[in-house]
Each structure stands twice: as C-alpha cells, then as structure tokens.
Chains A and B, each alone.
Chain A
Amino acid sequence: MVVMIVLATLVVFLISHLVPADPILAQLGDMQAANPAMVAAYRARWGLDLPIWQQYLIFLEGLVHGNFGVSISTQRPVLDDILQYAPATIELSTIAFLLSVIIGVPLGVIAAVRRDSWIDHFARLLSLVGVSAPTFWLAFVVLALFYGGLQIAPGPGRLDVVYLPPPFVTGLYLIDSALAGQWDVFRNAAAHLVLPSTVLAATTLGLITRTTRAAMLESLGQDYVRVGRAKGLKDRTIIIRHALPNALIPVVTLGGLAYAVLLSGTVLTETIFSWPGLGRYTFRSAVSLDFPAIMGITFLVAVVYLVINLIVDLSYALLDPRVVRQ
C-alpha cells in the first residue's frame, strides 16, 4: 500500500513534467513570454528552474506535510481548493452510487430469477440504455424535460439562489443542513441532487444491473441451489441466502471501480449542472496547465483508487471464505 502510494506520486510527478507543454506560455501569455526577464522571474518564483529530481523531492516533502503546493491559476493552496470542491463531488457521486446499487442489485436479482419475463426484458433494456446513452446527451434531455419543460425539478447548482449554504461541517449539504436543522435547505439540496445524480447513476446502474443479473444466473445454476431446493428450502431463502452471496463477488469488484470513477471525474455532468465540484476544477486546471493543481488532484485520485481497492479486497474475504485459506 505504502509502496503503491510512493509509486503513484512518482508517476503523477513524471507525467505532469514530461508533458510537452509549457505552463509559462499558458500562464503568462504570448506577450510576456517573449520577455526573458519575466520568464526567468516566473521560473524562479515557481521553482521551475531547479533540477527535476529536486522538484520531485520538494513535491514529496510537501505531500508529507499535507502541502500540495499552490495553484498557479487560483494562487491558493491546492489542498484548500480540493477541500472546497471535493464535498460537492463526494455528495453527488455517493448519491449516484447508492442509487445505482440500491436499484441495480435487486433489479439484477429479480431479472435473473424471473428470466425472460417482462421485468427481465425491462432490466436488460434499462442497462443497455444506461450504458450506451452518452452522459451529456442524457443530462441535456433530463434538464430540458424536467427543468425546462415540466418545471418540476430545480435548475443547475447545488442550491437555489435564495438559500445560503448551511454552516460548514462536512461540506455535504445534506448532512450539514440536517445537522443545523435547516430542513428547507435540506429539501432544496436534495431536490437539486435528483437530476445530476440520476444522470450520473445511469451508466453505473446499467453496469451493476447487468453484472448482478449475469452473476445471479450463474449462481442459480450451481449445484448447491439444487441441493437447497432438494432440502425443501423456500425459494426466497435459496435466492437471498444461498445464491446472492456467491453472486456478489463480481458485483463488489465492479461497484468499487465504478465508485472510484464517479469520485474522480464527472466533468461533463458537473459542467452541465454547474456543479461546483472536483470535475470542473480538474478541467479548469488541465486547460490552464496548472501543474500543482493537476498533480494534487491526480495524487488524490490515485489514493482514492487504492483505498477503494483495499476495501474491495477486504470485502472479498468477508464474502468468500476461500480467499483467506492458508
């Protein structure tokens, strides 16, 4: 784990420094970049004149102290930026993830049990549409339909302009507003989450439904299911207690990966819904070649992936006792 994180920092650092793009040009603009004195001063200011390994060590030392450097474009510490934008993304992704698991797993199970019934066809259609519909298209469609047309959903942003954000505790508006007892804010924040999280959940929901269905079909075909029937168990017991735990293993793998993807990049959805999250921050930093910010975010994403992978691996041991065999 530690080795992996160090490797991640190295990769993060190298990638952003080996990119054939000059941040000076991007930051200073053509006029000033033509002035050697300006360029030299700029380089010295951001440490770009040091040898590359020294830059790496400085970067590493900073990481150890929780210092991700200062963003070139916002002039604020990268960590502060990330902390400011992350909660919006975490809130959105988590809701989307929960949505896809809570709907996807039972739907997949029912589809497998009632194979070739109307609900199976519905589940397969839903997962096909969810996986294949482009996110931006889906986002525009739901916005146009529910916000523009029917006017039953609130527009972009995390809150209506009449509401102030709840006092900061976690940065997740749902939790913060509930803690502060501001139920009107809670309701409004929740309403604002509906459309973007649905759009975001579509792909994940499709994948999870499909994987659950396939894994359940396999699991239901196993001998122990027939043995369960021969024992006289109820169908429900066989499905939930015998078949499902065996089918969950591939679903957990996929779910972990999907959650990590949601957490680390939802640029399109965030942009369309004007969601002040990490996706938009990443996009802006990338466009302006803001290396400290890019490195900070990339590193964060690497850590998120590693942590989620660790959780997935640990849950294997819970799901399948054969994993911990001597």
Chain B
Amino acid sequence: MTDPAMNETTGSTAPLLEVNDLQVHFHTDNGVVRAVDGVSFHVDAGETVGIVGESGSGKSVTALSIIRLLEEPSRIAGGEIVFRGDNVLAMDKERIRSLRGGEVAMVFQDPMTSLNPVIRVARQLVEALLVHRRITPKAARGRAVGLLGRMGITAPDRAIDNFPHEFSGGMRQRVMLAMGFGNEPSLLIADEPTTALDVTIQAQILDLLKELNSDFGTAVLMISHDLGVIANVCSRIIVMYGGEVVEEGSIEELLSDPRHPYTWALINAVPRLDRDPGADRRLTTIEGTPPDALDMPKGCRFAPRCPFRIARCDEHPSLERIGPRRSTRCWVTQAGEPLPRREEHAARAAPSPVDPASRQLPADGAAPLLEVRGLVKHFPLRRQGFFGPQEVIHAVDGVDLAVGQGETVGLVGESGCGKSTLARLITRIHNPTAGKILFEGTDIAQRSRAEMRPLRRRMQMIFQDPFASLNPRMTVGDILAEPIRFHGLAQGRAVNERVQELLALVGLNPRAAGSYPHEFSGGQRQRIGTARALAVDPQLIVADEPISSLDVNIQAQVINLFLDLQQRLGLTFLFIAHDLAVVRHISDRIVVLYLGKVMETAPAATLFEEPLHPYSVSLISAVPIPDVEAERSRRRILLEGDPPSAIHPPSGCRFRTRCPIAREICAAEMPPLQEHRPGHFAACHFPGGMGEWR
C-alpha cells in the first residue's frame, strides 16, 4: 500500500500517514476485545483530519497506535501504519523515539495531568527539544520561551520558570502545544484537546490550532466526541463506531448529507445552539447503548440501535466508496440514497409520550417556588502567617434568582463562576455567608441541620458524577429504598413496590434493583441517581451538571427523560450546566453567571436570539456548531485570557477585564441587574452594546 500509484485520493504524492487495516486487541480476563477492528485511513501533508466517535469507539486507541503508545494489555495485532514511507510497526526503539515528539507530536485531553506537577515548565519544554535536536540547553531555553510566546502566553520569559499548577487549564494546554510544536513536527495528533476546557478557552485553543496548521503546515489529526469541535478545525472527518470506520468524507458533505445512520444520529441527536428546540423540546435520540466489545453484533454493528435498519443489516457491511472522497459502511445508503432529513424522520417517529401543551407554566405574579435574594458565599483562605490579611474566595457574591413552580431554570457559566456553589447553597449543603433563600415563601438560609431535615424531602439533588455519587457497596434497590425508609414514606413491602415503580419511571428494568452500580453504564447510573432523587417525591430538583460526563447520545436520552418526568410529575428544575446548547434545550429561563454574579437572566429563546450582556454574546459565539454554513456566516468573539481570580475580583463590572466594549464607567461602577425588556434582565452599562458584533 505504500506505492503512491495505489493512492487515488491524493494523486501522485504519497500521504504523510497511512493506516491500513489496523487491528488492536485488548487482552482481558473475559476474552479478547477488538478495540480497533480493521481501520484504514490516511492523512496528507498539511491536512486537517478529524476522528469522531463515542467512548469505546476505538478512536483514542487508533490515535495512540500511530506512535505506538499503547500500553498493556492492548496490543497491535495486525495491519500497518506507514509514516512517510516507513512502517512504524517495524521501527526499532531508537527510530520510534525519534518519531515521537520529533516528527509526530501528540497533545492529550487533560492538560491538568499531562504536565508533571513537580517539574518546572522550563525543564519539561527544554527536555523535549534536547532529545531531538543538537542544541545547547541555553539555546533550547531561548527557543522554549519563544514558543510559549507564540502560543499566546504573556511574559513567557518569566512564566517558563513556573510550576504547572501555577497555570490555568487553558494555559497548560498552550504549554502542551508549545511542547508539541517545538520540533516542528509534520503531524500533530490532538486527542480531545479541548474537552477539559471551558467553552471560551476551547475557542481560543481551536483558533490557535488552526493558526498553527496554516503557519507551520503541520497536519493535524484531531480526535473528539464533539462534532462541532471537529467541524471547526478539520476539513475531512472519519466517523468511528464499535472499532470500525463507518463513514468518511469531507466536512461539508458529511455534515449536510450524512450517509451512515450513526453519523446522522450524531448530527441530529445533539442539542444545537442554532436550532429552535420547538414546543416539544425532545431530542431525536438513538436508543440503546454502544455495542458490547466482547460480543459485537454479527451484522452491522450499529444495526441494533439504527432507526433505518433493513433486513440486510444482519450481514456485516464493508466500507464502500460512494463518492470521489466519500465512503460509508451501510446497506441502507449503499445504493446512493440519502438518509431522511431530521424533520421528516421526526414526523414519522413516535410522538412524545406526553402532550407538550398539557404542561403548565406558572402564571405571572404567582409566588415562585424558590427565590434567592442577595445570596453570598465567601470561602475564607488560610492566612499567610499570623498577621497576614484574611483573604476570601468570593464564590457567590450577591445572587438574585427565582424559580417558579413547574419551571426549568438553567444556570450557565464557566468553571469557577460559582454555579456549583450556588446549587449547594440552595440545597443547604453549604451554609450561606449572607442572603436569603426562600423556599415556598419561608427563609431557609439560616435553618439548622435538624430543621432542614423535613425539607430535604422536597428538594433533591442530582450530581455530576454518576460513578462517585452512588455507593458501590449498596444494591440499586437499597440505594433507592434508603431515602424512602428514612423519610418514612413507606413500610415493609410497599418500599419494594415503590422501588420497582421508580425504576420503571426512569426507564430501567425493575430487576435492576438487585444489581450493584458498577454493573451499569454511565447513562444508566445517571438514571439511578435521578430515581433516587425522585424517591421522596420532591418538588424541586437541583441538577448539577447531570449529563456532562456522558456521551452525546446518552446525553440526549437523559435530557428526554428529564423532560418527560417534568411533564408527568410537574417537577421544578434548577439545571446547572456549562453546555449552552443543552441548557437552551431544557430550560424555560436561563441565568448567566460570571465570577459569582448574575450577568443576565432571560427566557431561553430570547437569550439566544437577543442576548444583551457582552458575556452572554461571547459565550454563545464560542460554541462550535457542526454546520459549515452556519459557522461561516457567524462572527466569533474570542475572549482573551482566563476569568480573573475570585479572590480579587475586578472593581465595577466583574466582566470588564475581558469585555470587548468596556469603558471607564465599567471599572468605576458595578452595573445593577436591571429589567430591560419584560422578563429580560442584564447587569451591564451598555446592554445590547455588542449588537453589531453578532
């Protein structure tokens, strides 16, 4: 396959990287897992290629195989990887070392753990240069400083002597990129490079990646679960499912006309910023979970979940060429037929189980279920020495908020904006420093633990991490029965009946009661967490990033579950998330938080159509949309730097240090949260001042 003539797609020149029929096996106690099963693709010099897929699809394993970074028990069992005409799998130790970090650089997902915490950044950068080039340590240091500056780190000559913990997440990812580009590689492999970052920081890093690609001519192979991120950077996409490539094509063709149902689902089952959720607000989902790697379906691996399945899908399809640069692994589209559009499909699909019109929203003027007034939480820091000043983190700093009966309020903001602290204050896991929390009209801000106990029944929390928030040594039945017994809601056999009922309510098999949490997938565990919250018939549910750790399709399933439950049980939700598209989909009203203060509050649709606060405008513009046309037509506002420290928040408006339209008054006076249109509040001296930016 190394013969250039064999390669039709690139003409006469051989591709930079060619992967042919790659097989990677994991040897587990239960048998051999074919994590990557016959994957072939190529990357041309200077090209940007994205691999997209959910967890377990084999995309990261493929990426790691390219420079042979796989660790036991995984093993490359077959195929070939050809880089510039050399077979990587046949290289000796020395040759592969010169490839790693020299010609092929790699950037990983979590910049927090990718840098060694006990070694200065300078040495970590310099050692990467010294192993690959003949230069003096002094020259290497000079080069490293230059690279850091190029990656957008201010005062790089000083910053380089810091330890990694002194950098923010975005800065660390810049350091990782500096490390990667130090030896002018011809290929950069970026494995979920922005997944751990906030959306405004993600936008910065994606921009930097594109810039580096065009300035250095470095080819980029980007791995991500987020189609929007891939679409933003890459010109060609490879979609992986169950260890196989299921579709490949240029970004424009693939996004506008997906020819594999899985790609179709990725494009359509994801909440999108540029799409009106509609009255129903339910997402198109593909049901089920990814295939069991130990027991792959015999036919098409996606068939069990496929909405378009036909009889022939029992046979395993091969990856067939369907256009000049396109191929797909699907019986349905092999004849050249496109898949139906989302709307057509939705019309044919089963209607939502509950009539959306039956949903009752609170009438204007009705007393809200929950009202928060001037809520403050300061976390004191340790004093620096005995006479040192007492410093505090202004985590939540005067927040007003109201949630009506039966309403869903979305709370968004970047990490560190105080949204989780706010959730914990409302449920009184933390004690507020000042302010009022009115639940059904009574102030619970200063209630003691004992006084809170009867109230706990009425407000419940769903947590972010479905793995950590369920006790691994309790069966699901015990987990659900505990709150029922504790609050005396049922006795004896009635408890079991209630548990069965709850499991059915969240769409789990009632037999699940006897199993332990580890026997379930992430999405199923989040259903268990939801059932636990529902066990005590609460009125208010505070959900703190309940779907952030789930795959996109599973996210859609859980969102739909929340919507159903709300309609059936009349629940009130305070929904906290950093993902704007998700929040838009599920919320009636949205509250935008920045550094412990509310920047803007508006009905969901209004906020996205006419945001008034510059921060909201920037947040919305930072979200990548998996649509080439939409991406081209909109203007992206890149916020500079990171949010300032909550220990010394800026004077006046908190956002002014990053605001593109800040003026003098913004530093002098803190703008009050004012109603500019009915139900639309913003805390800005120049509301709507970014209108022409959009």
Contacting A at CB under 8 A, from B155-193, are 163, 165, 176, 179
Interface residue tally on B, bucketed by range = 20 to 34
A134 within 8 A of B: no
Question: Are A325 and B165 also in contact (CB < 8 A) when A231-B128, A245-B118, A246-B117 are?
Answer: yes
Tell me whether A231 and B117 are in contact (CB under 8 A): no
A234 within 8 A of B: yes
Stretch at the interface among B100-108, B532-540, B626-634: B100-108
Tell me whether A246 and B116 are in contact (CB under 8 A): yes
Please measure, in the bound complex, the distance between the C-alpha atom of A231 and the C-alpha atom of B114, giving whole angstroms: 12
Question: Are A232 and B100 also in contact (CB < 8 A) when A223-B114, A325-B165 are?
Answer: yes
Most chain A CB atoms below 10 A, which of B97, B116, B117, B384: B116
Interface string of B91-119 (1 = CB under 8 A from A): 00000011111100110101001111111
**Count of chain A residues with a beta carbon within 8 Å of a chain B beta carbon:** 23
Stretch at the interface among A4-12, A84-92, A316-324: A316-324
Tell me whether A231 and B101 are in contact (CB under 8 A): yes
Tell me whether A224 and B116 are in contact (CB under 8 A): yes
Instruction: For A231, list chain B residues within 8 Å (CB).
Output: 100-101, 127-128, 131, 179
Closest A residue by C-beta to B179: A231
Tell me whether A321 and B69 are in contact (CB under 8 A): no
Instruction: For B102, list chain A residues within 8 Å (CB).
Output: 232
Instruction: For A224, list chain B residues within 8 Å (CB).
Output: 113-117
A32 within 8 A of B: no
Closest A residue by C-beta to B110: A223
| Contact partner, B127, options A229, A230, A237, A245, Cβ 8 Å | A237
Most chain B CB atoms below 10 A, which of A223, A230, A326: A230
Instruction: For B67, list chain A residues within 8 Å (CB).
Output: 230
Closest A residue by C-beta to B391: A326
Instruction: For A223, list chain B residues within 8 Å (CB).
Output: 108, 110, 113-114
Closest B residue by C-beta to A229: B69
Tell me whether A232 and B117 are in contact (CB under 8 A): no
Q: Name the distance in Å between A323's Cβ and chain B's nearest Cβ.
A: 10
Tell me whether B108 and A227 are in contact (CB under 8 A): yes
Q: Name the distance in Å between B158's Cβ and chain A's nearest Cβ.
A: 16
B75 within 8 A of A: no
Question: Across the A-B interface, how many residue pairs have beta carbons closer than 8 Å?
Answer: 73
Q: Name the distance in Å between B376's Cβ and chain A's nearest Cβ.
A: 23
Tell me whether A226 and B69 are in contact (CB under 8 A): yes
Tell me whether B118 and A230 are in contact (CB under 8 A): no
Tell me whether A227 and B165 are in contact (CB under 8 A): no
B132 within 8 A of A: yes
Tell me whether B117 and A230 are in contact (CB under 8 A): no
Instruction: For A14, list chain B residues within 8 Å (CB).
Output: none
Instruction: For B128, list chain A residues within 8 Å (CB).
Output: 231-233
Question: Are A230 and B119 also in contact (CB < 8 A) when A237-B127, A325-B165 are?
Answer: no
Please measure, in the bound complex, the distance between the C-alpha atom of A7 and the C-alpha atom of B146, giving whole angstroms: 55
Tell me whether A232 and B116 are in contact (CB under 8 A): no
Please measure, in the bound complex, the distance between the C-alpha atom of A232 and the C-alpha atom of B128, giving whole angstroms: 7
Interface string of B120-133 (1 = CB under 8 A from A): 00000001100110
Tell me whether B163 and A321 are in contact (CB under 8 A): yes
Tell me whether B115 and A230 are in contact (CB under 8 A): no
Tell me whether A320 and B131 are in contact (CB under 8 A): no
Tell me whether A241 and B119 are in contact (CB under 8 A): yes
Instruction: For A245, list chain B residues within 8 Å (CB).
Output: 118-119
Q: Name the distance in Å between B68's Cβ and chain A's nearest Cβ.
A: 9
Most chain B CB atoms below 10 A, which of A224, A226, A231, A245: A231
Instruction: For B163, list chain A residues within 8 Å (CB).
Output: 321-322
Contacting B at CB under 8 A, from A161-208, are none
Interface string of A221-263 (1 = CB under 8 A from B): 0111011111111100100011001100000000000000000
Interface string of B250-294 (1 = CB under 8 A from A): 000000000000000000000000000000000000000000000
Q: Name the distance in Å between B183's Cβ and chain A's nearest Cβ.
A: 8
Q: Name the distance in Å between B645's Cβ and chain A's nearest Cβ.
A: 11
Tell me whether B97 and A322 are in contact (CB under 8 A): no
Contacting B at CB under 8 A, from A29-80, are none
Please measure, in the bound complex, the distance between the C-alpha atom of A128 and the C-alpha atom of B221, giving whole angstroms: 48
Instruction: For A326, list chain B residues within 8 Å (CB).
Output: 384
Closest B residue by C-beta to A225: B116
Q: Name the distance in Å between A226's Cβ and chain B's nearest Cβ.
A: 6
Q: List 8 A-B contacts (CB under 8 A).
A: A222-B113, A223-B113, A231-B127, A232-B99, A232-B128, A232-B131, A241-B119, A245-B118
* Chain A residues close to B by CB (< 8 Å): 222-224, 226-234, 237, 241-242, 245-246, 319-322, 325-326
By Cβ-Cβ distance, the 3 closest A-B pairs, closest first, are A232-B101, A231-B101, A223-B113
Apart from A223-B113, A231-B127, A232-B128, what are 14 other A-B pairs with CB-CB below 8 Å?
A222-B113, A224-B114, A224-B115, A226-B71, A230-B106, A230-B108, A231-B131, A232-B98, A232-B102, A233-B101, A233-B128, A241-B127, A246-B118, A325-B165
